[in-house]
Amino acid sequence: MASETKSHLGIPEAVFMEDVDAYMKSKGSGETTESVLKHLDEQHQKYKYLEMNLLQKKLRLKNQVPDIKQSLDIIRHMQKKMDSTEPLKTHFLLLDNLYARATIAPTDRVCLWLGANVMLEYEVSEARSLLERNLDTATRNMEQLGTDLDFLRDQFTTTEVNMARVYNWDVKRRQAESKQSGGTA
């Protein structure tokens, strides 16, 4: 068993039990098979909880990226039309599946909805810069979450294999004790 454990986003690495017999002996007489299995099960449940949180974060980001891209497209279009004196005719979303027509005079300002009931006015170039940074950050975070989820799945597998190995070790131990005491297996 390795003495050093790696941490990935604060997720402790599950260490593979090379030799279950040596591992169980190192735990001493105070640890039973049931307590080791309970500890492994708790570790497995913690990984499940972390996975659920990471999947929720990834879903949130996955929903944000198209909104940011759409806002960026609108900002780019507005930048193209800034030099024109002709008003911009468009449709905007009022509610789900309900749009309204709008005529927008040429402007160098735009309001961005930042969330949490906050909307701020920006110059178009500032808004574009902010949205590009947000898109870049969201994309990087999604990639990182994918890596973290892969790491977490490896920890699931290692923990599940350890649980199976401890359980099988205990079955063999009981069979050996049964044979030694003259009973049937």
pLDDT exceeds cutoff 60 at 181 = yes
With pLDDT > 70 as the criterion, what percentage of the chain qualifies? 92
pLDDT at 1 over 80: no
Distance CA 165, CA 64 (A): 43
What amino acid is encoded at 88 in this protein?
A: L
Would you say 166 and 39 are in contact if contact means Cβ atoms under 8 Å apart?
no
Amino acid 185: pLDDT: 47
For residues 27 and 36, the answer to whether their CB atoms sit within 8 Å is: yes
As to burial, measured by CB atoms within 10 angstroms (0-12 exposed, 13-18 middle, 19+ buried), residue 51 is middle
Instruction: Give dist(CA 98, CA 113) in Å, integer.
Output: 19
pLDDT score of 28 more than 70: no
Question: What's residue 106's pLDDT?
Answer: 83
CA–CA separation, 110 and 98 (whole Å) = 22
Q: What phi and psi, each to the nearest 5 degrees, are found at residue 87? A: -70, 155
Of 13-17, 25-29, 143-147, 178-182, which gets the smallest average pLDDT? 25-29
Average pLDDT over every residue of 6-28 = 81
CA nearest neighbour of 16 among 25, 31, 6:
6
The residues with which 12 forms a beta bridge, in sequence order, are: 7
Confidence category of residue 184, pLDDT binned at 50, 70, 90:
low
DSSP category for residue 85: -
The answer to whether residue 163 scores a pLDDT higher than 70 is: yes
Confidence of residue 92 (pLDDT cuts 50, 70, 90): confident
| pLDDT value of position 71 | 92
**pLDDT at residue 126 greater than cutoff 90:** yes
- Lowest mean per-residue pLDDT among 89-93, 108-112, 135-139, 140-144: 89-93
Q: How far is CA 108 from CA 75, 135, 159, 161, 175, in A?
A: 10, 22, 57, 61, 81
DSSP string, 10-64: TEEPPPP-S-HHHHHHHH-TT--HHHHHHHHHHHHHHHHHHHHHHHHHHHHHHHH
Q: What is the mean pLDDT of residues 89-95?
A: 86
